[in-house]
Amino acid sequence: MKKVAHLRNTFLPLSETFIYDQIKYLTGFSSFVLTRSYLNKELFPLAEVYELPSRPEIFHYTFFRRSKFFEKIIKEKNPALIHAHYGIEGVYARPLKEKFKLPLIVSFYGHEITRLPKFTLYPPAWFNYWRYFDELKKDGDVFLPACEFLRKKLLAKGFPERKTITHYIGIDVDYILGLPEIRREPKTILTVGRLVEKKGTEFLIRAMEIVLRKYPGARLVIVGDGFLRKKLELLAKDLRIARNIYFAGALTRDKVFEWMKKAGVFCLPSVTANDGDSEGSPGVIKEAGACGLPVVSTYHAGIPEIVLEGETGFLVPERNVSELAEKILLLLEDGTLREKFGRCGKDFVAERFDIKKKTRELEEIYRKLL
């Protein structure tokens, strides 16, 4: 069986289960991972993950993109191709591609193309990304943006159209459908994501202040952590709604699914951050759909490609607090509409975003390249 070398500089943050699933569900190829640091090993167990063994190795690789250790593994394992996860990793994979004459596939998931490669000395990986970005466009063999929105961004930056293929990331539909049902809490609104600007959590908290005027017993559950947490907690206190806002912190995937099975509405009011940071096609929206949750989100990045307006959920303009509150209230008021959107969402996600189907498509991309 032919092998694929997967490159991710940090393998793997809790928010990147989608990368783990892509590797886990490959059946026509075997895989191994090259990484600077291996995190959350108990949650992302793979048989072959090769982590840089020392600080000097990490330093040299981070600044100069080369590693004798990775070269040794590539020579021993003799993969058929390299799959770099994120554009930055594509830049770091180029020396291995050149030395071993291997095809290179690069997946783009969002921020690394919407934030724009620009001159910066910190962190070093972004400096290298800026420095070698044009070479990546020229030397990569296949580029896989995670939605059509990102594909258009790549083409606008000069990536070759014939090499740039939209590949939506799948989710484990069978696993989610097999989870036990939990009694719904119709007045619980759930959001899941890192507490960073692009997730738009501030606007959801402000919308909750309006929602609570009509439904004082409603609550917002915020799953995720990040540098904005204290600011958001203070906002809830300032609006005098802190008792209705629960900050759950970062949770494992199974705990997230428990909340998705319990909540009445899922909301992800994503926005374009000041530095250009944007979403791709957020996996949590697909997971919420598979859990039967109606979705309220925004006309942002690739989200309109995965939420069917008026069928699986509602979309509102970015940063529009009043419309966000209005759509949440519509769903809180109408149980029949919630159920209808939930059923349609399940069907839509199962048909379009099943990880097994998407992995077969990925394997076909591999085969065509070889």
Q: Give one DSSP letter per residue of 305-318, joined into a string.
A: GTS-BTTTEEEE-T
Q: Assign a CATH topology to domain 173-352.
A: Rossmann fold (3.40.50)
- Other residues' Cβ atoms within 10 Å of the Cβ of residue 254: 10
Q: Give residues with Cβ within 8 angstroms of 148, minimum separation 6.
A: 166, 302, 305
* Nearest by Cα to 84 from 96, 72, 76: 96
Where are the strands (E) in 203-275, listed by range?
Answer: 219-223, 245-249, 263-268
139 touches 176 (CB < 8 A):
no
**pLDDT tens track of the chain, all 370 residues?**
999 999 999 999 988 999 999 999 999 999 999 999 999 999 999 999 999 999 999 999 999 999 999 999 999 999 999 999 999 999 999 999 999 999 999 999 999 999 876 666 668 999 999 999 999 999 999 999 999 999 999 999 999 999 999 999 999 999 999 999 899 999 999 999 999 999 999 999 999 999 999 999 999 999 999 999 999 999 999 999 999 999 999 999 999 999 999 999 999 999 999 988 999 999 999 999 999 999 999 999 999 999 999 999 999 999 999 999 999 999 999 999 999 999 999 999 999 999 999 999 999 999 999 9
Helix (H, G, I), strand (E, B) or coil at 178: coil
Q: What was the pLDDT predicted at 122?
A: 67
Q: What angle do CA 322, 265, 247 make, to 5 degrees?
A: 85
What pLDDT sits at residue 169? Answer: 95
Beta strands in 211-326 (DSSP E): 219-223, 245-249, 263-268, 295-298, 313-316
pLDDT of 115 reads 85
187 and 263 Cβ atoms separated by less than 8 Å: no
Tokens 């349609």 — which residue?
344
Amino acid at 137: K
pLDDT at 118: 64
Looking at domain 3-170+354-369, which CATH architecture does it have? 3-Layer(aba) Sandwich (3.40)
C-alpha–C-alpha distance, residues 270 and 296, integer Å:
10
Let me know the angle formed at the C-alpha of 199 by 109 and 136, rounded to the nearest 5 degrees: 20
Among 131, 136, 118, 110, which residue's Cα sits nearest to residue 63? 131
DSSP label at residue 47: S
DSSP state of 41: T
Phi/psi-derived region of residue 14, left when phi > 0, alpha when psi is between -120 and 50, beta in every other case: alpha
Q: Torsion-angle region of residue 66: left (phi > 0), alpha (psi -120 to 50) or beta?
A: beta
pLDDT recorded at residue 117: 61
Per-residue pLDDT at 120 = 64
294's CB contacts (< 8 A; 6+ apart) are: 265, 266, 312, 313, 314, 331, 337, 338, 341, 342, 345
* Annotated domain spans of the chain: 3-170+354-369, 173-352
Number of C-alpha atoms within 13 angstroms, CB side, residue 163? 18
